[in-house]
Amino acid sequence: MAEGELKACGSSFFLKKRFGVGYRLICVKGANCDRGRLTGLLRKHIPNINIDTDIGSELSYVLNENYTAVFQDLLRDLEENVEQCGITSYGISLTTLEEVFLRVGSDSYALDQKSGSNDSEQDNNGATNMGDSTVTMNQTSDTQPLLGGSGLVWNQLFAMLLKKFISTKRSWVQMLVQALIPIYFVIVTVIIVRTFPGQTDLPPIPINVYNYSETNTILQASTPSPFVDGFRSVFGAYPNTHRLRIIDTDIVDYILDLSVENIGLVNREFMAAASITSTNHTVWWNPTGFHTAPLALNFMYNAIVKSINTNFEITIINKPLPFKAETRFTQLQAGNNLGFQISFNTGFAMSFIAALYIMFYIKERTSRAKLLQFVSGINVFTFWIVSFLWDFFTYIITALIYIATLAAFQEDGWSTFEELGRVFLVLLVFGIAFLPVTYLFSFWFEVPATGFVKMMIVNIFSGTIFFTAVFLLGFDGFDLKDVANGLEWAFMIFPL
């Protein structure tokens, strides 16, 4: 760079090849150095070669790259005539970057002209005599006046915005990831909530043996009767996995004997039973199973019906009552709702997004690009204000994508303009909060990837982990409401 402009860019080899003067032969003079003989020896291979510098004990020549083919013969002759030429050693080096900078940078040439003005004589036509060379200079200068005041500020603002635009354009993969993260988390959250609904009313359930894999029903009947035939008719419609056992012994003793032999089998398969006498019909059920009481009662009712007419039967359906308001509120407090899931997963999404912004500033600082900008005259306030405005602009795009994803699913509480507007406002406030914190953390890391990972961990802990801790401590069962409230205020210093 020179005069605030980029003159050339590329690898060191490219710059030396494109703007260098060639190779340089450096000879260390001895006590009896013969400059003429040495120059004559070199001219045998490279015509018109002259001494470039003769300072102290060093004597240097510029070797044009067009003569690289004769370098081998030249060095062989030089090696054989080292003592005759009066040199002690020699070496060849390619043009240095310093020489490239001096040649390409016009400001260095102007500085040399000013420093040498006292030792040179300039005629009225603008010719400056320096030794054997004459350089013609224009009396008039086309250089524009330096900017100052508000003009300089606006110019720096434009330059910083252009820098941020170009860097964002080049890191399009990062912007794509930043846009996809909130979409992914919203989709996963909605799928989880729809797959495992927590607040929907329970569906009706038919009460029959098909709710169990295998059953054995006991019927105590000492004599044949229409009720026994009714029981046989009821179980005749079931598959073989649901069996009816008719006994004439005491049902209590029978169940106790089975329990002694295999209590697990009794609790797993013996769900219902009945005992029939001439004066009394008794229903028995196993309380370890679900819905066994209405199941056993329905067996008896259907046996009575089929003892009269086998073409009829009674079907029982258990339809739970809707949840009470108190129950729904308890479920809301327990986090079993879409709002809690979205807020929790949004914390994870924003932990990733907020950490992504630290990578650019770590790289800019460690590569000394930021230092170069400050040395070139960029005001520190201009630098950070433009950085904040541009980052906030890109973050708004991410927030709008997040809101659009929520609106696409049209979930209750997350569909209207007012509801989504409140969410967008919260995201904007979060953006204002986390960007300055990210800038501060960028000074603590030297590797962008390391900074991203550690910043993401900090965001997860300060957001989702602390939020979960306060949420759990707030349960009435722990009796730690005061601790939860205190921690909630203490964690307010973190953006998430």
Domain co-membership, 354 together with 458: yes
Lowest mean pLDDT among 110-114, 284-288, 469-473: 110-114
Same domain (yes/no): 237, 352: no
The predicted-structure confidence for 350-362, as pLDDT tens digits, reads as follows 888 888 999 999 9
Q: Are 295 and 207 in contact (CB under 8 A)?
A: yes
On whether residue 52 sits in a domain, the answer given is yes
Tell me what the pLDDT averaged over the chain comes to: 81
Same domain, 305 and 230: yes
pLDDT (average), residues 262-288:
89
Residue at 103 is within a domain: no
Asked whether residue 116 is domain-assigned, the answer is no
Q: Which two tokens stand for residue 327?
A: 């129950």
Same domain, residue pair 310 and 339: no
In a domain, 268, yes or no: yes
- Whole-number pLDDT of residue 137: 39
Q: List residues bridging with 129 in a β-sheet.
A: 121, 134
CATH number at residue 44: 3.30.70.250
- Residue 39 lies in domain: 12-95
Q: Give me the pLDDT at residue 294, please.
A: 92
Q: What is the DSSP string of 362-431?
A: HHHHHTTHHHHHHHTT--HHHHHHHHHHHHHHHHHHHHHHHHHHHHHHT-TTSSSHHHHHHHHHHHHHHH
Q: For 166-224, how does the pLDDT look when each residue is reduced to its tens digit (9 = 90+)?
A: 998 998 898 898 889 888 888 888 887 777 655 566 788 898 888 888 899 999 888 88
Q: Are residues 296 and 369 in the same domain?
A: no
Residue that is last in its domain, among 40, 60, 95: 95
Is 232 inside a domain boundary? yes
- From the number of C-beta atoms within 10 Å of its C-beta (0-12, 13-18, 19+), residue 202 rates as exposed
Both tokens of 108, joined, read: 């260095």
Q: Assess if residue 135 is contained within a domain.
A: no
Question: What is the residue type of 491?
Answer: F
Q: Which of 95, 128, 148 is the last residue of a domain?
A: 95
Write out pLDDT tens, residues 354-390: 889 999 999 999 988 888 888 888 888 889 999 999 9
d(CA 171, CA 179): 13
Domain membership flag for residue 200? no
Are 347 and 274 part of one and the same domain? no
In this prediction, residue 496 has a pLDDT band, given cuts at 50, 70 and 90, of low
Nearest to 285 by CA among 298, 275, 300, 295: 295
Residues 343 and 220 in one domain: no
Q: Is residue 199 part of a domain?
A: no
- Cβ atoms of 245 and 219 closer than 8 Å: yes
CATH classification of the domain holding 220: 3.40.190
> Domains in the chain: how many in total?
3
Q: Judge residue 409's burial from the number of C-beta atoms within 10 Å of its C-beta, 0-12 exposed, 13-18 middle, 19 or more buried.
A: middle
Last residue of a domain, one of 44, 68, 95: 95
**Higher-pLDDT residue of 334, 102:** 102
Do 18 and 46 belong together in one domain?
yes
> What average pLDDT does the segment 471-478 reach?
70
Question: Which pLDDT tens digit goes with each residue over 396-453?
Answer: 999 999 999 888 888 777 788 888 898 899 899 999 988 999 999 999 988 999 999 9
